[in-house]
Structure 1
Amino acid sequence: MSDLKILIADDEHLALERLERLLNKLGFEEILKAENAYQAKKILQNHPDIDIVFLDIKMPGKDGLELAREFLNLREDLIVIIQTAYEEYALGAYQSGAIGYLIKPYTLEDLGKVINRIKSLIKLHKRILVLDKKFNLQSLSINQIYYIKADLKHSLVRTKEGFYKCIASIGELEMKLKKHGFFRIHKSFLINLSKVSKIEPKEFGKLSFYFEDINESILSSKSGAKAFREIHKI
């Protein structure tokens, strides 16, 4: 079974149900449904962990192309697929930022091809580009990262081997990585919770995070500790 969460938006109830059944056959269980643009936007706001959105081209409120642009402005990492009965909308689908489109009526095989492409893209999303000490470009898996430290407008990425420079800001990396288990415990630190071996309470309500395999710890801010406690119920 896939752990990806999907939102389907289509004003045709039968089309919604059919796509849900096809996705179930492909191993997807977490599927949310909307019958208009307003519902779709509300669901996306309430479920920031949604990975993939299927949008019908024509819906009450806003069309799928306009909604795709709006969604991608909110979430750059979101994967959007446009559904349409009209092949002439294909170019518009790509111009909206969608990674592809499906022409209705489509088959399970057609949907499977799109899903395979999506899975390849998600693997790329789980990597970031960095520079080593000799300024050679490297691609790191997020599983290699212990924490990320703000470095003016850029970032320093800590792995077991040492630090790498990343031209993205810590805020940009937070948007990309928070759904993969990273947490901003301080304005200057974004940590990979899967690499944390121990958490200790400190003075003034702060928390200290210790990492496996490297002899380092990072102290949270008071606000970072409060947010962490609220989310993780500790």
Structure 2
Amino acid sequence: MRIVVCDDEPLARERLVRIVQESGHEVVAQATTGAEAIVAVKTQQPDIILLDIRMPEMDGVRCAQELDKLDHPPAIIFVTAYDHYAIAALKANAIGYLLKPANKDELLEALNKAKNLNAAQLNEIRKLANPAARPIREHIAARTHRGVELIKLKDIYYFAADQKYVKVRHKDGMVLIDETLKELEREFDDRLFRVHRNAIINLNFLDFLETLDAGQYQIRFKEIDETLAVSRRHLPALRDKIQSM
């Protein structure tokens, strides 16, 4: 693979270059600032950029945001000494986030994951930054410790708000995504239904509406032994929906 290495620290940059070259990949350019990295990417058209975050003139996050505007942006792997930039890296569409000094095995694993990403996965990653531009999807993209996972919408039981993220319960487990329930509900309004301000469900997995004590209700799902509370506000609409199914 063709790789650009960007880091303002010479020793850190040289170490990354050495690991990349020893692994059989080609370093097509080196840069010390985000601005230099953008020029290198436009000139060399690399497959991947290894990008520091704390740099003069233009930091790595801003650089990644600018790179994402290109017609054919490279896959981005951040290599930084600071762990508190992880959320910013997620929003900048990075496919990897490594802490300095980057472990050789972790770096090679990240490079292999980037190499194996297909066009569909990369497109899903880039769409995360611009919800208004998305077509209706059949998959939800989630970044996990295994890389980028594409989860079929038809395999998802429900979405539930979990602090700053949304929890996705699907047939193979649970992941977190950086989207909002409001965006998901608007995009998939014909397939998802809100049962609570903190939850929307896939109607295909709705088994029945269960009555609890004190006039409370909850949803039971097909295939899984889990429940979700139904709010009083959304109960009438849900009953109407069930009757029309």
Using the size of structure 1 for normalisation, the TM-score is 0.49
